[in-house]
Chain A
């Protein structure tokens, strides 16, 4: 029962501690073909030259960015490192002003449980925008929304620019669109220090809601900023009947993040438990839509959201 040796609170000690946390606990080193030992060699030399805290923080942040993971951050009292290339290097494919055009939400849209919603396309299609899976909602919110859309032929759920939040809300929102409980994915976790030490996959099931179910056609709109819990939602909805995913590939974020600490008190967040789709394929790099489309500049100039229009056409 010997405790692991704690590194000293020095630049070198904090670097070794951070490197070791990722080496033993990060779940995608093999999947992403990252040679973490080489990265140690490169950054250990740089640590020896660091003279103050801010450059040291930047150096550690840069080392973490080698993981190319939006779920990896280093938190100090003065800064938070982040990797945002998973959406910065891609077309935006979303404009909040565009969805507030009178053609879509307009200015008199309704708000319930984090959903902004309105009838569009002459009242034939329900449109709901959900921008954060941390926004709480309940059955009563959904019941009111679906009742409001009762005369609509189809529904659009827009989760573009939704960076994630609670997996419980992801499961709950998806449950309104399933007729029966369905295995929609799998999860594993690290069981040892080795890069390939993983547990047996455990099923992620999406239940069918007992009383509230939308059984007409649905389009889920995605872009690169559909990340983390939103990625999970899209993965679930891929298995739902009558659902089409429209837009850009999601940003990914398929690893459930956990946290740890360095001797100097900085917190590191990292992907720990990889999540898979129903075919046991990793979802870390994102989920492809059923119908790939992007917002065209000419449409945007006219106040038209190309992706919403594509969904309307599909749902007709």
Chain B
């Protein structure tokens, strides 16, 4: 039978109205937060230039979270996806650098509620970074790639403030890389030698706190409106890593806006939307 998929969407905080339903079976909702942002970036890539480049970038991101199972509402899974593009200039305005970055991650978080209305989520997130820095003016080193995979520690604090009919939420999210593997070319090695001649000696490095330190902190406010929940946030991301006697730096401050929705997928013409839901936002 041909399946038809429906998407059932509603604001995250309205899910509490189903908590009184007598139907025993519960269904997991996925809370998706989609945001767009504008960032100021300060970037140092000594493979391309000893100068720091500054500029603006735009980004889109999706963060999806759901509990592991209906029986276990202590652990949630998370997936994130970010895309960013920007143009940066050196201080003398003599050269520009095009910056593209993509990041995908999967994580697990353990939920605890130390006091009423306060939730703490702690866990880990494994992610893959891919970035491209293009400085067209350079001759045989016009591009450098950011390629890394990291295991990050994550922590999230969420505080619910009840309003007359809905709930406002404040959230602080922190993420820091702990272990990983990264590509960092030697300063004298050209991409011609690395990729045409196949000499990738010392191009890949184990990373940990000794050579890669960063903190991604985001403060968010979830504001419920009639049929949607809006997300407003500010994010600061600092990252410093080092290999092959090169020290790389990226500092970023972003303003974010987006929406947050609980979603549920179900199939079949005759099936009706189930009524008991569990959301990670409850």
Contact = CB atoms under 8 A, between A and B. Distances in A.
Contacts of B282: none
B95 A25 contact: no
B140 A3 contact: no
Contacts of B95: 261, 265, 267
Nearest to A7: B50
Interface in A239-265: 256-261, 263-265
Contacts of A199: 186, 188-189, 199, 201
A133 to B, nearest CB: 14
A273 B193 contact: yes
A257 B245 CA distance: 20
Given A4-B247, A272-B188, A273-B189, A202 B90 contact: no
A13 to B, nearest CB: 12
Interface string B163-176: 00000000000000
Interface string B129-157: 00000000111110000000000000000
A116 interface: no
Contacts of B141: 258-259
A259 B138 CA distance: 5
A86 interface: no
Contacts of B137: 75, 259, 267
A230 to B, nearest CB: 16
B51 A261 contact: yes
A298 to B, nearest CB: 42
Interface string A1-22: 1111010010000000100010
Nearest to A3: B247
B251 to A, nearest CB: 12
Contacts of B8: none
Given A3-B247, A261-B50, A267 B94 contact: yes
A150 B57 CA distance: 56
B249 interface: yes
Interface size class of A (residues with CB under 8 A): 35 or more
Contact of A258 (B139, B242, B249): B139
Contacts of A77: 94
A1 B213 contact: yes
Interface stretch (A46-54, A95-103, A185-193): A185-193
Interface string A260-304: 110111110100110000000000000000000000000000000
B52 to A, nearest CB: 8
B211 A1 contact: yes
A257 B139 contact: yes
Interface string A125-155: 0000000000000000000000000000000
Contact of A6 (B50, B196, B198, B211): B50
Contacts of A9: 91-92
Contact of B139 (A167, A189, A269): A269
Interface in A43-96: 75-77
Nearest to A258: B141
A261 B90 CA distance: 10
Given A1-B240, A187-B193, A203-B197, A265 B91 contact: yes
A256 B140 contact: yes
Nearest to B240: A1
Interface of A: 1-4, 6, 9, 17, 21, 25, 27, 75-77, 167-168, 187, 189-192, 199-200, 202-204, 256-261, 263-267, 269, 272-273
Q: Can you list the 6 inter-chain pairs with the closest CB atoms, starting with the nearest?
A: A265-B92, A265-B94, A190-B188, A189-B188, A259-B138, A202-B199
Interface of B: 44, 46, 49-51, 90-95, 137-141, 186-190, 192-193, 196-199, 201, 211, 213, 240-242, 245, 247, 249
